[in-house]
Structure 1
Amino acid sequence: MDDFIAARSQMALSLGFHIIFSCIGMVMPFFMAVSHYKWLKTNKEIYKDLTKAWSKGVAIFFATGAVSGTMLSFELGLLWPKFMEHAGPIFGMPFSLEGTAFFIEAIALGFFLYGWNKLNKWFHWFTGMVVGVSGLASGILVVAANAWMNSPAGFDFVNGQYLNIDPIQAMFNKAWFTQALHMCLAAFTATGFAVAGVHALMILRNRNKEFHLKAFKIAATFACIGALLQPLSGDISAKDVAKRQPAKLAAMEALYQTEQPAPLLIGGIVNEKDKTVKGAIKVPGALSFLAHGDFKAEVKGLDQIPEADQPPVAITHYAFQIMVGIGTLLMLISIVYFILVFRKKPLQDKPWLLRLFVWAIPLGYVALEAGWVVTEVGRQPWIIYGIMRTKDAVTPMPGVVYSFYIFSAIYVSLSIIVVFLLYRQIKMVPVLYNQSETSRS
């Protein structure tokens, strides 16, 4: 492994772990706020117990997200100094604002965790909402910075110089809204299905069914709403990518030849050497419609992209297929869930539905990771699209491969610790709940 591949691998590994920690950390507070609100309105202690149980998970992922995010910020400077030298002054604003949002989130979380029976009950609930809103704002700001890499704006590039810098225009570039919307919905969907799946498993094991059923309903509602909205967000994103990054769209669909109309490929094995796709199901005209809103529109293929500017096709295509396939499956589960809810069917009497949610625990995050592979690999060979190539931004420092091994060990260790803490927390829930029930009786 050479230093360039090691640098890219380290960044991919760091981002892959951080995205899970950060998504849980920015979505779970909203679950917590809903259960807290239900306790305040109904005075049912079970919702208070649920809020306290979830708040411990929020604290765990806030800490791990802070650690992994800090490591990522250092890696940007250490691994990609040329990129930060030129890009830092341009897209530094969203990062600085993200730091402010993180600061607010930390303060609000402190108020919430230690404010039980000390603060006004509605102000206490409000601090929990601030944790969620500030965490969501942090995620949107970071995505805005990444969107700038896909859609550079806020400067003039003249003779290798970055002139007339406008940080506001850079932050609100043409890609920020579509990426932020798609990412936020993905975070709610993935985290919602994971949390709902854990509680569904506890229901199936007949452990404090009332407690876990209420938790399941809150998480599943967020997850299923997100899953049903995600295709709309995906359609907006596809049309945006078709305009700004035709090479990425062509790689996503393994479209080697420009076609009019262009079919949508489902599955298929990519042969990058022969530039062919075998075994794919073709939906005539569907790609033209998704890209341009017209079943007869022309879609630009890789044959119109210089070879040196083409992204890796196989990885991008497979990741896109995984993302769309899982998204479709979660959408179908969501439809079934809402049908049962609207028909007022008791969910605890539907073990097959609960098992679907258990099986779906990892799927949202697999789709989330696949989506980021599409975003990042599909942009290659550019680190700033059309402006700076990734190979020109990497550090000249030797020995990056050893850094990759060290960081890999750190992230694996961190993940093991997080899993252990969460497992311990889940095992403690029945004990805490039974103690609460005893004290109330």
Structure 2
Amino acid sequence: MDDLLAARSQMALSLGFHIIFACIGMVMPFFMATSHYLYLRFNDEQYRNLTKAWSKGVAIFFVTGAVSGTILSFELGLLWPQFMEHAGPIFGMPFSLEGTAFFIEAIAIGFFLYGWDRFNKWFHWVTGVVVGISGIASGILVVAANGWMNSPEGFDYVNGEYHNIDPIAAMFNDAWFTQALHMIVAAFVATGFGVAGIHAIMLLKRKNIRFHLKAFKIALVFGAVSAIAQPLTGDVAAKDVAQRQPAKLAAMEAHFETEDHADLIIGGIPDEEKRTVDYAIRIPGALSYLAHGDFDARVTGLNDIPAEYHPPVLITHFAFQIMVLFGMALVALSILFFIARWKKKSWIMKKWFLRLFIAATPVGFIAVEAGWTVTEVGRQPWIIYGIMKTKDAVTPMPGIFYSFILFTIVYISLAAVVTFLLYRQMKMVPVLYDANGDDPGDSLYLN
């Protein structure tokens, strides 16, 4: 493994772990705030217990996300010094503001965790909402920085030097809104189905049924609404990519030849040497419509882009197909959930129904990882699109492979610790029994 591949692998590993913690850290506070509101509204102790349980999970993911995010910040400087030398003064503002949002989030978490029965009850609730809002702000700001790498703006590039730097224009680049919208909604989808799946496991085991049923429903409402909205945000993002990064779109769709009335390719195995896609399903004109809103529009193929600027087609295409496939599977489950909520209430406690959502627990996060693979691999060979190549930004320091191995061990250990802490928290949730000493939720359980 050469140094460039080792550096890219280490960055991918760090980002792949951090994005899971970041998604959950952004979204879980809204679940927590919802259950807290329901407790204040209906005075149901189950919602109070749920709020406290989720708040401890929020704290765990906040700390974990802070650690993994700090590692990523150091890695930018250590692995990509040339990139930071040139890009730091231009896109540093979103990172600075993200630090501010992080501190607000930390203060709000402290107020919420230790504010029970100490603050006004509605002020206490507001601190929980602030945790969520500041977390979302952090996510948007980080994505804005990544958007700048895909759509570099806010400077004039003359003879290899950067002039007339405008940090505001750099932060609000052409890519930031579509990327942030798609990412935030994806975070709600992944976390909603992930949390719901965990509580579905407990329901299937008949553990504290009323508690886990309430949690299951809250998480799925967020996840299902977001899943149904996600294809719309994806369409907006894809149209933006078609305009700004035609090579990425061509790699996503394994579109080798420029043509009008371009086919949408579903599945298939791209062959970059033969410029063909085997075993694919083709929908005539659909790619032209999805990319440009016109069935007869011209879509740029890889044949019109210099070969040295081609992204890895196989990886980008497969990652895109996985993201779309899993996203549409969650849309189908979302529709099924709303049918159960409105028309078939008895389904929710059926074993087959719960097993479907248990199977879906990791699906949203796999889709998120695949989406980030499309974003990052599809931009190659550029680290700053059209300006600086990734190979020109990597550190000259040797031995990055050993650093990659070390960080792999660190992240696996971190994931194991987080899993253990969350499992312990789940087991510590109190069961509220009725006057006969029974869990009243037992009557809800159906085979």
Distance apart, 1:435 and its partner CA: 8.5
Match of 1:21 in 2: 21
Match of 2:380 in 1: 380
Distance apart, 1:309 and its partner CA: 0.5
Distance apart, 1:275 and its partner CA: 2.1
In 1: Cα distance, 2:299 partner to 2:319 partner: 20
Distance apart, 1:433 and its partner CA: 2.9
**1:3-402 to 2 correspondence within 5 Å?**
3-343=3-343, 345-402=345-402
Q: Where in structure 2 are there 5+ consecutive unaligned residues?
A: 438-447
Cα 1:276–1:434 shift into 2, 3 Å:
same
What are the superposed Cα offsets for residues 277-305 of structure 1, whole Å, 9 maximum, x if unpaired? 10000011110011000111110000000
1:405 aligned onto 2:405: yes
In 2: Cα distance, 1:239 partner to 1:89 partner: 30
In 1: Cα distance, 2:131 partner to 2:346 partner: 33
In 1: Cα distance, 2:141 partner to 2:417 partner: 28
In 2: Cα distance, 1:295 partner to 1:344 partner: 40
What are the superposed Cα offsets for residues 97-153 of structure 1, whole Å, 9 maximum, x if unpaired? 000000000000000011111111111100000000000100000000000000000
In 2: Cα distance, 1:228 partner to 1:358 partner: 19
Counterpart residue identity of residue 241, structure 2:
V
Distance apart, 1:402 and its partner CA: 1.1
Asked whether the equivalents of residues 247 and 302 of structure 1 are also in contact (C-alpha less than 8 Å), the reply is yes
Distance apart, 1:353 and its partner CA: 2.0
Match for 1:433 among 431, 434, 439? Answer: 431
Distance apart, 1:342 and its partner CA: 2.0
The secondary structure found in structure 1 opposite 2:257 is: coil
In 2: Cα distance, 1:22 partner to 1:142 partner: 11
In 1: Cα distance, 2:209 partner to 2:432 partner: 12
Distance apart, 1:343 and its partner CA: 1.9
Asked whether the equivalents of residues 203 and 348 of structure 1 are also in contact (C-alpha less than 8 Å), the reply is no
Q: Which ranges of 4 or more aligned residues in structure 1 deviate by more than 4 Å?
A: 434-438
In 2: Cα distance, 1:435 partner to 1:71 partner: 45
The secondary structure found in structure 2 opposite 1:228 is: helix
Distance apart, 1:201 and its partner CA: 1.4
In 2: Cα distance, 1:283 partner to 1:31 partner: 40
The secondary structure found in structure 2 opposite 1:346 is: helix
Counterpart residue identity of residue 252, structure 2:
M
Match of 2:443 in 1: none
Distance apart, 1:434 and its partner CA: 4.2
In 1: Cα distance, 2:262 partner to 2:344 partner: 44
Deviation larger for 233-242 or 349-358: 349-358
Counterpart residue identity of residue 121, structure 2:
K
**Aligned-residue CA RMSD (Å):** 1.4
In 2: Cα distance, 1:435 partner to 1:132 partner: 32
Asked whether the equivalents of residues 241 and 248 of structure 2 are also in contact (C-alpha less than 8 Å), the reply is yes
TM-score, structure 2 normalization: 0.96
Q: Percent identity?
A: 70
Asked whether the equivalents of residues 267 and 321 of structure 1 are also in contact (C-alpha less than 8 Å), the reply is yes
In 2: Cα distance, 1:270 partner to 1:106 partner: 47
In 1: Cα distance, 2:93 partner to 2:347 partner: 47
Distance apart, 1:351 and its partner CA: 2.5
Distance apart, 1:273 and its partner CA: 2.5
Cα 1:396–1:345 shift into 2, 3 Å:
same
In 1: Cα distance, 2:408 partner to 2:276 partner: 35
Q: Where in structure 1 are there 5+ consecutive unaligned residues?
A: none
In 2: Cα distance, 1:398 partner to 1:435 partner: 62
Distance apart, 1:274 and its partner CA: 2.0
Distance apart, 1:156 and its partner CA: 0.4
In 1: Cα distance, 2:50 partner to 2:230 partner: 28
TM-score, structure 1 normalization: 0.97
In 2: Cα distance, 1:345 partner to 1:293 partner: 40
The secondary structure found in structure 1 opposite 2:33 is: helix
In 2: Cα distance, 1:289 partner to 1:354 partner: 38
The secondary structure found in structure 2 opposite 1:152 is: coil
In 1: Cα distance, 2:223 partner to 2:396 partner: 44
In 1: Cα distance, 2:347 partner to 2:261 partner: 45
Asked whether the equivalents of residues 271 and 277 of structure 2 are also in contact (C-alpha less than 8 Å), the reply is yes
In 1: Cα distance, 2:351 partner to 2:296 partner: 46
